[in-house]
């Protein structure tokens, strides 16, 4: 029997990348093989994200590009998954009747059943928040060789209800996977070549599936032979507990890189965002983290132009950035999300948002380059992942998540080596192998 062909387009965060892998595995058990273009496919699946501006409209626009494919092949199945699917539900099918199925991020373990319903021309919709653990109902991961890095979801949902965010509505309440199931999946990944795991969650440091919390899970994962590196994302400052801070100083496999979003530097705006912490509390947390791990590199998220943000509020954000000094960051103009509290408040003019974003990103770019330039002359540990663009070149990531290029013989994906950095480029470092 010839395999059917599945094309998945993934939007948004690392959790969606992980979810797309698991959906592909679920459909692999139904005779589908993944392909790299929609033109080849018997089924097209969009795994959507609702965080960015006009997310739903971008999905509808993408669906519009597939009308010709559907007209040429009426048997082609088209599905929408993820957070836009959860938020829009049946409205997607109403606006784009060619869509055969819509499935939310907590129900994709039911994807094979939903697809089977569409074979007689029916539509399939599932945006429930089921009681069963979707991960326990997914097909086991295939035993094929994996690359040296992998994502592993350990927690989903969020109970924080930030005023700008739709995640609590599209992903639901905070749920943690049991530690023993995570350990089983982690061991399987390591057996297939993975040497670095990034633990994922909408609010990952709220993980409570281990009696020791996220720190306890990290320490248990660190006992797996062959697993050399552990990272996690995304975190909330309010859930960075004493045990997790201590782990940065005590667990060698936990990498010295932390993504810790603050969103704004003004106490007034933080309160309006419902972030439940102040700038001084954030500063104190950073101080404790750097006391535990002095070489810790920090990444953050920033929103400019949040409703009622003044120039003074914005300067507070710039001051916070100047004080903390970030190795990398993600920054955005605020955009309304229907149904969230902030969408109903007075909005900042777009030209002011544009100006503030430009100034903030200029500062972040300067900081990122300065911290990267400071790596020249230092020795770092690099996990090599793939070949570079030049002959004999390999590319990997340092413990600080910098991209590092090395030209040398005998390096393969999955190798972990010491590298002395000799140059800093716009977005990466280069160096030479240290003698073994």
CATH assignment of the domain containing 62: 3.40.50.12160
From the CB of residue 344, how many other CB atoms can be counted at a distance below 10 Å? 12
> Are 178 and 35 found together in one domain?
no
Q: How confident is the model at residue 1 (pLDDT cuts 50, 70, 90)?
A: very low
> Are 53 and 86 found together in one domain?
yes
Q: For residues 246 and 19, give the distance between their C-alpha atoms in angstroms, rounded to a whole number.
A: 31
In the predicted model, what is the mean pLDDT of residues 283-303?
98
> Are 267 and 187 found together in one domain?
yes
Q: Domain for residue 132, yes or no?
A: no
CATH code, domain carrying 186: 3.80.30.20
Looking at mean pLDDT, say which of 79-88, 101-110, 147-156 comes out highest: 147-156
Per-residue model confidence (pLDDT) at position 129: 67
Domain limits for position 405? 379-433
> Are 208 and 67 found together in one domain?
no
CATH code, domain carrying 410: 2.40.50.140
> Are 153 and 274 found together in one domain?
yes
Range of weakest confidence among 19-23, 152-156, 247-251:
19-23
Q: Domain for residue 85, yes or no?
A: yes
DSSP state of 216: H
Q: pTM of the full predicted structure?
A: 0.82
Q: Are residues 272 and 243 in contact, defined by beta-carbon separation less than 8 angstroms?
A: no
Sequence-distant (6+) residues with CB within 8 A of 323 are: 283
In the predicted model, what is the mean pLDDT of residues 364-371?
96
Q: For residues 27 and 52, give the distance between their C-alpha atoms in angstroms, rounded to a whole number.
A: 28
> Are 100 and 196 found together in one domain?
no
Q: What share of the chain in percent tops pLDDT 70?
A: 95
Closest C-alpha to 62, from 82, 48, 50, 51: 48
pLDDT digits (tens, 9 = 90+) for 410-419: 899 999 999 9
In the predicted model, what is the mean pLDDT of residues 331-339?
88
Q: How confident is the model at residue 130 (pLDDT cuts 50, 70, 90)?
A: low
Name the domain boundary from 72, 98, 126.
126
Q: Are residues 278 and 307 in contact, defined by beta-carbon separation less than 8 angstroms?
A: no
pLDDT digits (tens, 9 = 90+) for 390-409: 999 999 999 999 999 999 98
Range of weakest confidence among 7-11, 110-114, 357-361:
110-114
Structure tokens at 424: 């800093």
Mean pLDDT score of the chain, rounded to an integer? 91
Measured between alpha carbons, how far is residue 196 from residues 228, 291, 373 in Å? 6, 25, 25
Q: For residues 125 and 299, give the distance between their C-alpha atoms in angstroms, rounded to a whole number.
A: 38
Higher-pLDDT residue of 187 and 115 is 187
Q: Is the peptide bond before 220 cis (omega within 30 degrees of 0)?
A: no
Total structural domains within the chain: 3
Confidence check: pLDDT of 132 > 60:
no
Structure tokens at 36: 């790299």
Q: How confident is the model at residue 384 (pLDDT cuts 50, 70, 90)?
A: very high
Looking at mean pLDDT, say which of 13-27, 70-84, 230-244, 328-342 comes out highest: 230-244
> Are 151 and 264 found together in one domain?
yes
Burial (0-12, 13-18, 19+ Cβ within 10 Å), 317: buried
Per-residue model confidence (pLDDT) at position 135: 62
> Are 385 and 369 found together in one domain?
no
Range of weakest confidence among 120-129, 262-271, 300-309, 381-390:
120-129
User: b/e for 322-342, b at 16 or more Cβ within 10 A?
Assistant: eebebbbbebbbbbebeebbb
pLDDT digits (tens, 9 = 90+) for 267-292: 999 999 999 999 999 999 999 999 99
Q: Domain for residue 131, yes or no?
A: no
- Which residue matches tokens 């936990």? 254
In the predicted model, what is the mean pLDDT of residues 207-229?
98
């Amino acid at each position: 029997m010839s395999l059917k062909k599945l094309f998945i387009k993934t939007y948004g965060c690392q959790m969606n990348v992980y979810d797309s892998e698991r959906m592909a595995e679920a459909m692999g058990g139904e005779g589908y093989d993944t392909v790299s273009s929609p033109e080849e496919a018997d089924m097209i699946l969009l795994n959507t994200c609702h965080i960015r501006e006009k997310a739903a409209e971008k999905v509808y626009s993408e669906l519009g590009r597939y009308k010709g494919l559907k007209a040429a092949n009426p048997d082609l199945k088209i599905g929408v998954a993820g957070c836009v699917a959860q938020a829009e539900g049946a409205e997607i099918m109403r606006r784009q009747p060619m869509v055969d199925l819509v499935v939310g991020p907590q129900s994709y373990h039911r994807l094979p059943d939903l697809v089977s319903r569409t074979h007689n021309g029916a539509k399939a919709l599932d945006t429930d928040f089921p009681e069963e653990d979707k991960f326990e109902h997914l097909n086991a991961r295939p035993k094929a060789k994996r690359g040296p890095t992998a994502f592993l979801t350990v927690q989903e949902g969020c109970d924080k209800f930030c005023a700008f965010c739709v995640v609590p509505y599209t992903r639901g309440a905070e749920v943690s996977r049991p530690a023993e199931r995570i350990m089983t999946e982690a061991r399987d990944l390591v057996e297939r070549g993975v040497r670095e795991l990034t633990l994922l969650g909408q609010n990952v440091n709220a993980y409570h599936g281990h009696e020791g919390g996220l720190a306890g899970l990290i320490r248990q994962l660190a006992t797996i032979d062959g697993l050399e590196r552990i990272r996690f994302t995304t975190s909330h400052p309010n859930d960075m507990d004493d045990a997790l801070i201590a782990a940065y100083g005590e667990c060698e496999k936990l990498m010295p890189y932390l993504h810790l979003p603050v969103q704004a530097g003004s106490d007034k705006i933080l309160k309006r965002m419902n972030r439940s912490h102040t700038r001084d509390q954030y500063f104190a947390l950073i101080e404790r983290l750097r006391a535990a791990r002095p070489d810790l590199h920090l990444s953050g998220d920033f929103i400019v132009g949040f409703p009622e943000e003044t120039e003074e509020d914005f300067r507070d954000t710039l001051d916070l950035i100047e004080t903390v000094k970030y190795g990398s960051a993600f920054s955005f103009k605020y955009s309304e999300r229907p149904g969230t509290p902030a969408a109903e408040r007075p909005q900042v003019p777009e030209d002011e948002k544009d100006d503030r974003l430009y100034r903030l990103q200029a500062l972040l770019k300067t900081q990122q380059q300065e911290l990267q330039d400071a790596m020249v002359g230092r020795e770092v540990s690099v996990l090599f992942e793939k070949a570079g663009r030049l002959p004999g070149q390999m590319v990997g990531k340092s413990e600080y998540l910098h991209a590092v290029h090395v030209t040398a013989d005998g390096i393969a994906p999955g190798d972990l080596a010491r590298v002395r950095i000799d140059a800093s480029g716009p977005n990466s470092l280069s160096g030479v192998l240290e003698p073994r």
